[in-house]
Chain A
Amino acid sequence: MDKWFDDSQLDFSIFITSRIRLARNITQYPFSVILQPQQMQDILNKTIDTVKLLSNDFMFVNANDVSDIELLSNFELHNISQYFLQNKNPRGFFINKDESVCVMINEEDHIRIQSICSGANIFKTFSLANDIDDIFSQKIDYAFDNEFGFLTSCPTNVGTGLRASFMLHLPMLEKSAQLKNLVQIISKFGMTVRGLHGEGTEPMGSIYQISNQITLGKSEEDIIKNLQNVAHQIIEQELKLRETILQKNRLDFEDKIFRSFGTLTNCKKINTHEAMNLLSDVRLGYGMGFDIPKFKCNVYKIMMNIQPGLLQKNFGRRLDEKERDIARAEYIKKML
């Protein structure tokens, strides 16, 4: 079965993904800060029963029953968060067949419903999460208040509990001085910009996540529309920069991109960081209409599969850093 990221047209879009997260809590239990392990286990059992009853699309993964590589892979795919990856509490997640919907149980909130689609499909993505939310609310008493909306462990998420985000590929903006200004302007609109793996992680492959920070005082629809507006303005800037370089210095630019492709497909070993930068160059080349040979799948899928966790998972065994660099180069060549 095709996964959400098996999208052959994705290489031509600055929008890589659209994501939605809804934070929910169960009224009977205290929030995560003071939740006891036995209560966490109860919540896990309760949600497993609920999901069984309501849908057979989902597989449940108990986080304490799987290997660290399996967990790391799910983190790299954005199925689980850094917080979820790193603690040892009773916790787990439900994931559907095309991996477009993943529900984390016992993250910072009891229930975190997440959905993801390729490209600029934010409203479709929202309805995926919203449907699951409706299903859960039939069987679970949510912590909800008429004044403050959905009550969350942290007041930064209260109200809609919604985080909507776009993952954007912004190589030209990154190289220009404009990105820093843009980040400042965006924060004035109640939005934030982060790297590939969210808070505190370094940007890789010129991929940036832009998301709303405001969750209360605006409806879901308004929050998403605001995000769309801001995203389109950012993309306009990126496209302008791309146009300018073509007019000013096409040959040097094309030369650099093709050299990146050459290195990427001929090297014997390569680390994640270098590979991400070269893949970003190639993706930019596709986007600008250069005649670069295509890979068997879209570049974003390769970008995920060269991360340490997924690389080891697909290789079938644990690899040290040196072995990973060799396996990474081999994998990229194989995808040509």
Chain B
Amino acid sequence: MLCQNCNVNPATVFVHRVINGQEREFHLCNQCAKQLEMQISFEDLFHGFLDTFLSNDQKQLYGQPNDLIRKKVCPKCGFTSDDFKNVGKLGCDQCYKTFREDLIPILRNIQAGTRHTGKVPGKSLLEISYQNRIAKLQNDLHKAIDNEEYEQAAKLRDEIKKIKEEHNG
């Protein structure tokens, strides 16, 4: 979906405004949404002073000051952050990127982490298990070095080397 203001950029922000007591919704791109926010803070300052500078279309779009609610909208499926909050589900795969900031705290609550460490399509599980083992050992190695446990670090280094050789051999 394209931005309803500039008709050029994809709409990524869902703007909800109350205009003359009526609820209106607009899909805007990031730039236009920022412009609108600035506009509104000006309106706050001058209290309608800018009225004269705005075309009728713009007036309809901008409505009254202080009633702007900024929401994210998924550019692929049109799902909004409110939809996500209400349904608890996502609209498409792109939603995971769009609502990433809202998702992370939820995932932290309900999952064991926020990063996938399992299967990757097209890669064998053996390969993934190898990569996970190396990643864990390297992590341990860094910890050992940080704690100045050099004997342990040397052991870990040998182990990593051995596993890599076995894997590549």
Contact = CB atoms under 8 A, between A and B. Distances in A.
Given A34-B91, A145-B96, A218 B110 contact: no
B110 A156 contact: yes
Interface string B122-138: 10010011001000000
A13 to B, nearest CB: 27
Nearest to A220: B118
A162 B80 CA distance: 27
Q: Please classify how large the interface on chain B is, using the bins under 10, 10 to 19, 20 to 34, 35 or more.
A: 20 to 34
Interface stretch (B11-19, B31-39, B57-65, B82-90): B82-90
Nearest to B124: A134
Nearest to B108: A217
Interface string A108-152: 000000000000000000000010010001000011111111110
Interface residues of A, number: 39
Contacts of A31: 77, 89-93, 95
Nearest to A146: B116
B107 A158 contact: yes
Contact of B118 (A137, A145, A156, A159): A159
Contact of B93 (A27, A155, A221): A27
B167 interface: no
Given A34-B79, A130-B125, A153-B90, A217 B110 contact: no
A25 interface: yes
Interface in A2-36: 25, 27, 29-34
B112 A217 contact: yes
Contacts of B77: 30-31, 34
Interface string A185-214: 000001000000000000000000000011
A297 interface: no
A160 B117 CA distance: 8
A215 B111 contact: yes
B115 A217 contact: yes
A82 interface: no
A30 B93 CA distance: 7
Most chain B Cβ neighbours within 10 Å, of A29, A33, A130, A145: A33
Given A145-B96, A155-B106, A221-B129, A160 B91 contact: no
A155 B106 CA distance: 8
B45 to A, nearest CB: 40
A216 interface: yes
Interface string B36-65: 000000000000000000000000000000
A61 interface: no
A219 B132 contact: yes
B120 interface: yes
Contacts of A34: 77-79, 91-92
A33 B89 contact: yes
A217 B111 contact: yes
A219 B133 CA distance: 11
A148 B118 CA distance: 10
Contacts of A217: 111-117
Most chain A Cβ neighbours within 10 Å, of B76, B78, B95, B112: B112
B155 interface: no
Contacts of B118: 149, 159-160, 162, 218-220
A251 to B, nearest CB: 48
A153 B92 CA distance: 7
B143 interface: no
15 contacts: A137-B121, A149-B119, A150-B116, A151-B93, A151-B96, A154-B88, A154-B89, A155-B103, A155-B110, A158-B111, A159-B116, A215-B111, A216-B114, A216-B115, A217-B112
Interface of A: 25, 27, 29-34, 130, 133, 137, 142-151, 153-156, 158-160, 162, 190, 213-221
Given A147-B116, A154-B88, A216-B114, 16 more contacts: A31-B90, A31-B95, A33-B87, A33-B90, A34-B91, A130-B119, A145-B93, A149-B119, A155-B103, A155-B107, A158-B96, A158-B116, A159-B116, A217-B117, A218-B117, A219-B117
Interface of B: 76-79, 87-93, 95-97, 103, 106-107, 110-122, 125, 128-129, 132
